[in-house]
Amino acid sequence: MAMAARGRNTKLPPEVNRILFVKNLPYKITAEEMYDIFGKFGAIHQIRVGNTSETRGTAFVIYEDIFDAKNACEHLSGFNVSNRYLVVLYYQATKAYRRMDTEKARDRLEDVKERYGIGGDLEKEKEKMGLTTPRRN
């Protein structure tokens, strides 16, 4: 008990939170197996295992307590499950949203390019408009 109290008085790094993102899981892992593996480190609020072609092999594990999540991340990163070494990271919402925003912007750009018939090599387009002199070989 004294050891648990001592660990809770330390200041945690800013990336530590109670949501873990787990990668490199076996595709056929079940939620029960996930609870068996991750439940040893504390009370789990929820586990979401990826089931689409893009999310297979990944999961989110949400702990009730941030210190349990920290302990699980430290101990299970690199843990071998069915000959696969787990990658356990703290979930960072800002990175996920930033990537989604970038993908949406790229999609909108491609739509505009198609609609107006623009795109391709920038240097060739400049040459067509007479803004640069052609390169000599």
The pLDDT of 4-20, averaged and rounded, is 71
The pLDDT of 108-131, averaged and rounded, is 70
Residue located via tokens 């109290």: 5
In whole angstroms, give the CA distance from residue 106 to residue 116: 16
In whole angstroms, give the CA distance from residue 137 to residue 135: 7
The alpha carbon of residue 56 and the mean position of all alpha carbons in its chain are separated, in whole angstroms, by 13
The encoded tokens of residue 103 equal 């993908």
H or E stretch including 84? strand 84-85
pLDDT at 8: 62
- Answer yes or no: is pLDDT of 124 > 90: no
- Judged by average pLDDT, the poorest of 73-82, 90-99, 106-115 is 90-99
The pLDDT of 72-78, averaged and rounded, is 93
Domain ranges of the chain: 2-91, 95-129
pLDDT at 6: 46
The domain 2-91: what is its CATH number? 3.30.70.330
pLDDT at 99: 60
How far CA 95 is from CA of 49, 52, 53, in Å, comes to 20, 21, 21
